[in-house]
Chain A
Amino acid sequence: MKNVVVLAALAGAAALPAVRRTLAGWLARAGRGTNVRVVPEPARRR
């Protein structure tokens, strides 16, 4: 029961706009310089 209450509180906090902005900001800063991409075979590049 306690776990359910804690999870519900965390979910509720995550729904708050301020919390979402803080989390998004942290992710953006921590993830700066990150990239993923598919590079095709040489004949199809550029």
Chain B
Amino acid sequence: MTAHPQHPTAPAPAEAPRRAPRARPRPTSGRATEPTTPVVPGPPVQAGADWSAWTTYDAAVVGFRNYWYPTVWTSEVGDKPVPVTVCGERIVLIRDGAVVRGLHDRCPHRGVPLSLGRRQFPGTISCPYHGWTYDLTDGRLCAVLTDGPDSPICGRVSVATYPVEERFGLLWIYIGDVPEGEAPPPVERDIPDELNDNAFVLGGRNDVRRGNWRFAAENGFDEGHAKYLHNTALWRLFKVMPAWNKTRIVERDGWLVRVQDEIHWEAHYPGYGTWTNKRWWKRRPLPDRPGKGRRINPVIAGLDIPGFVSIRLPGLLRVAYPEFIHYEWYVPVDADSVRYVQLMVRFEEGLRAQVFKLKYLAAIRWLFHGQFTAQDAWMVDVMDAPPEKLYRPDLSLTAFRRHVERSDLVVQPAERRRGH
């Protein structure tokens, strides 16, 4: 036996066993065989699209500058400073008599948070470490308690201050660039007109949840999920939801509005079965726009909203029922956290408003602002995209992303810079 020149003991090629012919020949193009991609060992990787088509949106990990954002309830800021993070900026809220001030939550000396500090003198906050004391109105270092009244560094250091306003019991902070001597835009610019122009009663819930703010906004405006994710929610126990819809997005006064063109209450899947949300105890369907209810509040009727759900920048959802409106603000905290500010609003006063307050505290807070939106928060927490493969109902997501790309926005830097 002639040995193979490379391997002394291997048989010569002419004597190697022949393979059985293939049962079905593989079709060929007549060209030479293309090289195959080597298999990379490891866990499975799913292909899908990234967000490179939406560069501004992709970069907005912690939101946009030059907006007012709702933060905590005014009642949460008492004698002690309260730290909040908005769009990655660390801010301390401090009550100064009847108003609340906002300062950068970092002492320039050694970086200790001022939210840990003491109210040594009225109108000031003192860092707990060395007693560097800052005036709340302008952030100026006005005293250094451990270096005497003639401390040479006084007046040469300051911390940034933030515009803070109170509206509806919420504290709103302006995140943006305000030129020296000028004022930020009025906070009413970033609040829906119907809340600025009318009396109303609100029930609200405000908390920080896991997940990026963009997932929260997309979930809110998403057309598809409510019919499946929420069909186990007690809030929907007696209300039928469609099985599937066909939708389009229209723009109206800065809002993107979801308009239902087709509503399907059940669907048959050959070989699998029929799927529907109809049950004998579910008494009436949701209206697909607020004007379709039997009774409609005159303020809501006057808004003339063509669809049930709408969204606007920087991340505010409006769900307009015939007799009340539910709002959700998605306030970026950091890359992995979002503040949900949920308000349910009825444009009523007097006894009806008091009755609503009781109903909110007894039921709505737990069913709607509790279990129902907790299902949304669950998905926002576990979502992991991109990569993603979008389907027909995701036109609401792509419409929001395109809206961001078309708008004149300043993206908040995502990386935490030294000294912040």
A→B interface (CB under 8 Å): 31-42, 44
Contact = CB atoms under 8 A, between A and B. Distances in A.
B207 A36 contact: no
A39 B357 CA distance: 12
Given A33-B206, A36-B357, 18 more contacts: A31-B365, A33-B73, A34-B203, A34-B369, A35-B75, A35-B205, A36-B201, A36-B361, A37-B169, A38-B202, A38-B349, A38-B353, A38-B354, A39-B168, A39-B202, A40-B349, A42-B196, A42-B197
B199 interface: yes
Contact of A40 (B73, B199, B206): B199
A36 B358 CA distance: 9
B199 A37 contact: no
Interface string B366-385: 00010000000000000000
Contacts of A33: 73, 205-207
A32 B208 CA distance: 11
A33 to B, nearest CB: 4
Contact of A38 (B201, B361, B369): B201
A36 B202 contact: yes
A33 B73 CA distance: 7
A36 B198 contact: no
B54 interface: no
A5 B345 CA distance: 43
A35 B199 contact: no
B360 interface: yes
Q: What DSSP secondary structure best describes chain B's contact surface? A: mixed
A33 B205 CA distance: 5
Nearest to B350: A38
B77 to A, nearest CB: 13
A40 B293 CA distance: 26
B200 interface: yes
A32 B370 CA distance: 11
Contacts of A31: 365
Looking at A34, A40, A44, the one whose CB has the most chain B CB atoms below 10 A away is A34
Interface residues of B, number: 25
Contacts, number: 55
Interface of B: 73, 75, 168-169, 195-207, 349, 353-354, 357, 360-361, 365, 369
Nearest to A31: B365
A34 B196 contact: no
Closest 8 pairs (CB-CB, A-B): A41-B199, A36-B357, A33-B206, A33-B207, A36-B203, A38-B201, A38-B353, A35-B204
Given A34-B361, A36-B357, A41 B205 contact: no
A34 B196 CA distance: 21
A39 B204 CA distance: 13
Nearest to B206: A33
A39 B75 contact: no
A44 B360 CA distance: 24
22 contacts: A31-B365, A33-B205, A34-B206, A35-B75, A35-B202, A35-B203, A35-B205, A36-B203, A36-B357, A36-B361, A37-B168, A37-B169, A38-B200, A38-B201, A38-B353, A39-B169, A39-B199, A39-B200, A39-B202, A40-B199, A41-B198, A41-B199
A39 B203 CA distance: 11
Contacts of B200: 38-39
Contacts of A37: 168-169, 201-202
Contacts of B205: 33-35
A38 B343 CA distance: 12
B389 to A, nearest CB: 36
A42 to B, nearest CB: 6
Contacts of A32: 207
Looking at A31, A36, A41, the one whose CB has the most chain B CB atoms below 10 A away is A36
Nearest to B358: A36
A2 to B, nearest CB: 28
